Amino acid sequence: MSARFGALIIDLSDAVLPGREITVETDARFSKVIVRVPDNANVIDEGSSIFGKRNVTGGSQADGPLIRVTGKSMFSKVIVSRGMDDWNLH
């Protein structure tokens, strides 16, 4: 997924995933990317940031899917969220 000078919201909270492990590749420039994941997801951040912020938390101890967040962000925010209410608080 790619975002330039705007916002991109990827909502996987109710998605039927193709397997137990998926990779979400984000490419953000001067923007905000929000990835909403299921409550039981385990998340690994394998991306990089230049003059930006990545707020990716590991997740729960439940036996949920593994979601890898990769890619680059420049002058951008990449946020992984488990709820809609905290999207603008980071």
Q: Per residue in 27-51, pLDDT tens? A: 999 999 999 988 888 899 899 999 9
CA-CA-CA-CA torsion for 20, 45, 90, 9, nearest 10 degrees? -50
Say what the pLDDT of residue 23 is: 94
**Cα gap 58→65, rounded to integer Å:** 12
Residue 85: pLDDT above 70? no
Q: What is the pTM of this model?
A: 0.81
CA-CA-CA-CA torsion for 77, 24, 9, 81, nearest 10 degrees? -70
61 pLDDT band, cuts 50/70/90, is low
Rounded mean pLDDT of 59-87? Answer: 81
